Amino acid sequence: MSKNDDVSFTSSSLRTPPFLHHQTKPSLPLFSQLAKTKLTFASFLDSLLTRPSTRTPNSPPLCSASLSLSHSSCSDPKPLPILGSASLSLSQSQLGESNQLDSVVTAQQKSGGASGVHGSGRNDEERVLISEVLVKNKDGEELERKDLEGEALAALKACRANSALTVREVQEDVHRIISSGYFSSCMPVAVDTRDGIQLVFQVEPNQEFHGLVCEGASVLPTKFIQDAFRGGYGKVVNIKHLDEVINSINGWYMERGLFGMVSNAEILSGGIIRLQVAEAEVNDISICFLDRKTGEPTKGKTKPETILRQLTTKKGQVYSMLQGKRDVDTVLTMGIMEDVSFIPQPAGDTGKVDLIMNVVERPNGGFSAGGGISSGITSGPLSGLIGSFAYSHRNVFGRNRKLNISLERGQIDSIFRVNYTDPWIEGDDKRTSRTIMVQNSRTPGNLVHSNQPGNSSLTIGRVTAGLEFSRPLRPKWSGTGGLIFQHAGVRDENGNPIIKDHYSSPLTASGKTHDDMLLAKFESVYTGSGDHGSSMFVFNMEQGLPLWPEWLFFNRVNARARKGAQIGPALCLLSLSGGHVVGNFSPHEAFAIGGTNSVRGYEEGAVSSGRSYVIGSGEISFPMLGPVEGVIFADYGTDLGSGPTVPGDPAGARLKPGSGYGYGFGIRVDSALGPLRLEYAFNDKNMKRFHFGVGHRN
C-alpha cells in the first residue's frame, strides 16, 4: 500500500458525559438507563413492577466512532500530523410508555461522506497500513500511569503495529477501549511519520475515586454502601465496576421487596461519586370494600381503623412488597375477610406511593351444627358421641369482636358456653386481647372415679365464669393471664349431689356438695411454624386464691413440649408432658393418666389418677396413599407414686397400677373435621384396645 503523502485530514471529537460513555456493550444497559436521567415516579414504579431483570440483552451500543480522510495538495512537503479521527457521540430517546432509555448509535460523518475519501473513489473498506500503535493522553503526551496505558492496549483487538486497518476496525477498537471502563473519551489520531503512519489513541482517564455522596437512601444501610466502594478509594473509577455496584444496590432493594433503586449517578470534581437513590415512601393507605358477587366498590361493615391498625406498613415508610404480603396475611387471619389485596399507585408526581387495600368481607355471623367425640365415655351404645349447635358473630360492632354461643350435648356430656372476645383492645399498642367467658358444663367423672358398681356413672358439674387477657410476648411466644371463678360438684346418674363414691372416697375437697375456687391463671405458649411436626411448648399455672374461707387454696403447674424431625418421607415426633399440684384441691381435678390422648392401650384414666404425672410418647408417621398416612407409636405414663396423696386415693381404691406403657400402629386420614385417627394398641398388661379420635394427639 502506498504512503499517504498527498492527503490532508480533519478531525472532531465529542466528549461523553460522566458515567455514560461506558455504555458500549449490551452487558451494561442498566447504567445507561439510570445515569443523567431523573425518572418520574410512574416510570420508576412501572419498572419495578414489570421489568423481568436488570439486563437488556439486545441493547445497541451507546457510543460510536468514525474515521474520515480527505485529500490535500501535495505541494506541502511537511508531513501532516493527523491521519484521521474518531469521535464518540451519545443520544437518548424520549421516555416512552415503558420509560426505558434506548441507546442510539450516531456516526459523526465528515464532509466527504460516510468515512469516504475525497476524490479517490475508494470506499470505506480501504485499508491503511499502520506502522505503530500508541496510547497517549488527550494532549498527545505520554500517559502518567502506565497501568492505564496497558489497559488500553490490552483492549485493542484489530489495531496492531504493521497491520492494514479499515475505518470500521478502528471504530471497534475505540469502543473496546471505552468499554474497559477506565476512560471517559478516546480519539484515534493518525500521524504520518518517516517510518509510516502512526496510530495514536488519545484517551482521557476517569478521575480517581476520593469520596462518595449518597442522597435519598433512608433504608439502605450505610455499611452496605461503604463495603461496596471500599476497595476503590484512590483508584481510577472503573465504570464497569461501578455498574456492578449499582446493580448490587438495586438487588438489595429487590431482595427485600422494597420500592427503591439508584436513579442517578455522576462523578463530581475532585473524584467524588454522587449516587441519587429513589425510594418510594408510602403517602397514604386507604381501604376499599368490594362486593362479594360483583366485585364493585361497596360500603363495608368493618371500621377502617380496625383493619388499618393490623398493618405494619405505615405512612412515611419505604414501601415493601414483602411487608405488604405479611400485612395481607395478617388481615386474612382476622377471620372476617374473604379476600385481601394491596394495590400500589403513584401519588401524583411526589415520588411517593398510595396504597389501596381491596377487601371482600365474609358473612359476619350465622348458625352451625356439628359433632365430636368425648374422651371420657368408654361404654354405651352411643359411646362418646357429641352433637353441637352454635351461633357465632365474627365482627360485632364492625370491630372484629367475636361472639360465640354454643351448646354441646352427648350421652352424658353437656356444655353450654358463651364467649365474647375482643382480639385487640382499643388503645393498646401491645395487641392485647380480652375474653369474657361463662360456661355451664356436665362431664363424666369416670376419668378419676371410674368402675362404679352396676356400671353407674358420676358426672361433674361446673359453673365457670372468667376474664382472660392474652398478648404476644415475643416472636412465636404468647402469654395469657386471667381470673376464673368455678363452682363444681359431683352428681350421681339420677342427678343427685353426692360427696362420696362407692369406695367412700371423698368427691370434694371441702366436704360439701360443691367446691368453690377463684383461680389466677397464667399460660405461656411457644409455637414453631404451626404445623403438626413443628416444635411446641406450653406452660400453664393456676393458683387458687382463698379470698373466702371456704374457697380452695392450691397451686397447679402443667407443661407440655413437642419436637418433630423429618427423616426422609417419615416424620418422627417426640412429646413430653408433666404436672404437679400442691395444696388442697378437688379429687376430680387430679391428673388422669391413660387413654387416647395419654397412654394408648389403656382406657381413659385407667393407669392412674395422681397429684403428679409424667407422660412421654414417640411416633413415626409416613405417607401411604393420598390423604392417608400410617403411624407407629409408643407411650409411657406414671404418677410418680403420687396416687395415694390424692384425697381419698381414688386410684388405689380402683387398683390402678400407677404407671404403664402401650404401643401399636394406626392410620390417619385428613378430613374436613381435621385428622381422623384409628389406632390399635397393646399395653403392658397384654390387653388390646382400639382408639378413635379427631384431631392430633395433645
Q: In whole angstroms, what is the distance from residue 473 CA to residue 423 CA?
A: 15
The DSSP secondary structure of 49-102, one letter per residue, reads HH-S-S--TTPPPS------BEE--TT--SPPS-S--------BPPP-TT--PP
Tell me yes or no: is domain 128-205 CATH 3.10.20.310: yes
Q: pLDDT band for position 86 (50/70/90)?
A: very low
Query: Could you give the C-alpha distances from 646 to 333, 460, 608, 641, 656, in angstroms and in order?
Result: 43, 17, 11, 11, 13
Model pLDDT for residues 550-575, shown as the tens digit of each residue: 999 999 999 999 999 999 999 999 99
pTM tops 0.75 = no
Model pLDDT for residues 50-70, shown as the tens digit of each residue: 433 333 333 333 333 333 333
The predicted structure's pLDDT at residue 413: 81
Q: pLDDT band for position 458 (50/70/90)?
A: confident
Q: Over 90: is that where the pLDDT of 158 sits?
A: yes
Q: pLDDT band for position 370 (50/70/90)?
A: confident
Q: Output the nine-digit C-alpha cell for 405.
A: 354461643
Q: Which residue has the cell 365430636?
A: 372
Rg of the chain over Cα atoms, rounded to whole angstroms, equals: 41
Q: Which residue has the cell 361497596?
A: 298
Report the range of poorest mean pLDDT among 82-91, 252-261, 493-502, 674-683: 82-91
The predicted structure's pLDDT at residue 502: 84
Query: Could you give the C-alpha distances from 356 to 253, 282, 283, 290, in angstroms and in order?
Result: 22, 11, 11, 12
The DSSP secondary structure of 97-150, one letter per residue, reads TT--PPB------BTTBSS-BTTT---TT--EEEEEEEEEETTSPPPS-HHHHH
What's the average model confidence in pLDDT over 469-485?
96
Q: Output the nine-digit C-alpha cell for 151.
A: 489497559
Q: Over 70: is that where the pLDDT of 123 sits?
A: no
- Vertex 403 angle, CA 399 and 404, to 5°: 155
- Do 350 and 41 form a contact (C-beta atoms < 8 A)? yes
3-state helix, strand, coil in the chain (%, to 5): 15, 40, 45
CATH architecture, domain defined by 208-279:
Roll (3.10)
What's the average model confidence in pLDDT over 453-475?
90
Q: In whole angstroms, what is the distance from residue 153 CA to residue 203 CA?
A: 11
Q: Over 60: is that where the pLDDT of 194 sits?
A: yes
What's the average model confidence in pLDDT over 434-448?
92
Q: Over 80: is that where the pLDDT of 20 sits?
A: no
Q: Residue 306: which residues within 8 A CB-CB, separation 6 or more?
A: 398, 399, 400
Q: Does residue 115 or residue 654 have the better pLDDT?
A: 654
3-state class (DSSP) for residue 592: strand
- Domain extent listing, the chain: 128-205, 208-279, 281-361, 365-694
- Do 184 and 16 form a contact (C-beta atoms < 8 A)? yes
The predicted structure's pLDDT at residue 374: 61
Cα-to-chain-centroid distance, residue 33: 30
What's the average model confidence in pLDDT over 142-158?
93
Model pLDDT for residues 309-368, shown as the tens digit of each residue: 999 999 999 999 999 999 999 999 999 999 999 999 999 888 899 999 999 999 988 888
Q: Is 221 exposed, middle or buried (0-12, 13-18, 19+ CB in 10 A)?
A: exposed
Report the range of poorest mean pLDDT among 54-58, 416-420, 460-464, 532-536: 54-58
The predicted structure's pLDDT at residue 449: 84
- Do 355 and 285 form a contact (C-beta atoms < 8 A)? yes
The predicted structure's pLDDT at residue 350: 87
Q: pLDDT band for position 693 (50/70/90)?
A: confident
CATH number, domain 281-361, options 3.70.10.10, 3.10.20.310, 3.40.50.620, 3.40.50.80: 3.10.20.310
What CA dihedral angle connects 407, 408, 411 and 414, to 10 degrees?
-60
- Average pLDDT taken over every residue of the chain: 81
Going through 626-675 in order, the beta strands assigned E by DSSP cover: 628-638, 659-669
What is the percent of the chain where pLDDT is above 90?
A: 65
Report the range of poorest mean pLDDT among 11-20, 318-327, 353-362, 386-395: 11-20
Cα-to-chain-centroid distance, residue 161: 60
Q: Over 70: is that where the pLDDT of 595 sits?
A: yes
CATH topology of domain 365-694: Porin (2.40.160)
Same fold, 128-205 and 281-361: yes
Report the range of poorest mean pLDDT among 27-36, 204-213, 419-428, 500-509: 27-36
